[in-house]
Amino acid sequence: MKTFRKSFIKTKLLKETSAKETFRESFAKVKLLGKASAKKPLEKASSKAQSAMEYLMTYGWAILIIAVVLGALFELGVFNANNFAPKAPPGACQVFRPNGPGTTSFINLEGICTGEIPQYVAQFNGNGYITINIPNIPTTTMPRTITAWLYTTNFNQNLAFFGYGTSSCDTDFYAAVGTACANTGPIWVDAACTCQVLTPPSQPSGWSFVVYEYNGTAQIAYLGNGGSISSKVSEIFTANTPNTPFYIGTDYQVWNSAPIVGEMANVQFYNTSLSTNEIQALYLEGIGGAPIDLQHLIGWWPLNGNANDYSGNGNNGQISGTINFVSNWYSGYTPP
């Protein structure tokens, strides 16, 4: 019996010792594994950081060069929204006169006439202009309105952008930029040798909407630039302009002013004085806007690739000298 008890106690002690050793070994293994698994994220993070630094060292210059190129392209206007806007091809919108030129019954606009910017504008380099023979051009005290979009940076000399008449103070009219008209600049109208400055008096930047009109008692000049329309009215003698050609890009008879240096688009001629609201609405249509008063429209020259008249009256222009029709004109234009 004693022998059995001793044997039982030894066996029990051996099992307890074995269990303790197994537990210790397992605990030690778990502890080691825990330390090892804790080191792995650190090692991975360190490896990733090292890879990122190596990537930047390898491709950093390339990324910097790409950033500089993108910045330069942005400054040049490559990413201008106008580059991606729908563009109207030549003749996309025109006036239809079912009864022929000069008639006013049942006339309407045809084509795409929703104000898309033109594909081209006319670029004048100082030695080109457009001559247009218009029957029954408004004279003496007849109401009239001429509108155009203009871009020029040359304000140092007398440069006319439209006009008609002859070389006499009682038979001339033209609109110009410069300081030759009694140093009044930067954009002004000369009628009967009397200057009318278009406000604001500061030098315009970018594309401007310019308007000249005679309403029976006064010469009125408008300038739209920077999102608003300014105007100026003065009681001045009205030129008795005879039936001579209408010029775009120079003055009457190419006599007093040099052809303009700059770009022009969307010239419209009416035999009425448009109201302030009509002029504002025409300006808000933007550089691709269609005429607003078809009944009184004499001529419409979008200058979108040619000098043709799209008023339905057949008053096509004849180009003299050199005029380029350019498509890369958007950088200076901001829609109203």
Range of weakest confidence among 60-69, 146-155, 169-178: 169-178
Q: Are both 46 and 97 inside the same structural domain?
A: no
Band of pLDDT at residue 201, cut at 50, 70 and 90: low
- The last residue of one of the domains, among 45, 63, 79, is 79
Give residue 43's identity as a one-letter amino acid code.
E
Least trusted range by pLDDT, from 93-102, 210-219, 238-247: 238-247
Q: Please report the pLDDT score of residue 45 as a whole number.
A: 56
Rounded to 5°, the CA angle 189-115-298 comes to: 45
E strand or H helix that includes residue 85: none
215 and 94 co-located in one domain? yes
For residues 34-58, average pLDDT: 60
* Same domain assignment for residues 94 and 17: no
pTM for the model stands at 0.74
Highest mean pLDDT among 71-80, 99-108, 177-186, 242-251: 99-108
pLDDT band at 220 (very low <50, low <70, confident <90, very high): confident
**Domain of 132: which CATH number?**
2.60.120.200
At 23 the pLDDT is 47
| pLDDT for 14 | 47
CA distance 123 to 323: 6
Same domain, residue pair 191 and 53: no
- Do 64 and 165 fall into the same domain? no
Q: Are residues 72 and 103 in the same domain?
A: no
User: What CA–CA distance (Å, rounded) separates 145 from 16?
Assistant: 114
Residue 245 confidence (pLDDT): 86
Both 48 and 133 in a single domain?
Answer: no
The residue out of 56, 79, 102 marking a domain boundary is: 79
242 has a pLDDT exceeding 80 = no
Task: Give the Cα separation of 237 and 302 in Å (integer).
Answer: 31
Condensed to tens digits (0 to 9), the pLDDT of residues 95-120 reads 999 999 999 999 999 999 998 999 99
Does residue 53 share a domain with residue 128?
no
When pLDDT is cut at 50, 70 and 90, the band that residue 271 belongs to is: very high
161-188 pLDDT, tens digit per residue, is 888 877 666 555 667 776 556 545 556 6
For residues 221 and 328, state if they share a domain: yes
Look at residues 79, 110, 133 and tell me which one is the last residue of a structural domain: 79
Q: Which span out of 23-32, 225-234, 258-267, 311-320 was modeled with the highest average pLDDT?
A: 311-320
Note whether 197 and 325 are same-domain residues. Answer: yes
Q: What percent of the chain has pLDDT over 90?
A: 34
Q: Within a 10 A sphere around the Cβ of 87, how many other Cβ atoms?
A: 17
CA atoms in the 13 A half-sphere facing the CB of 190: 34
Residue 311 has pLDDT above 90, yes or no: yes
Range of the domain at 16: 1-79
Contacts of residue 113, Cβ cutoff 8 Å, sequence gap at least 6: 92, 93, 290
The total number of structural domains that make up the chain: 2
Do 35 and 138 lie in one domain? The reply is: no
Residue 120: predicted pLDDT: 97
Q: Are residues 52 and 182 in the same domain?
A: no
43 pLDDT more than 60: no
Q: What is the pLDDT of residue 59?
A: 66
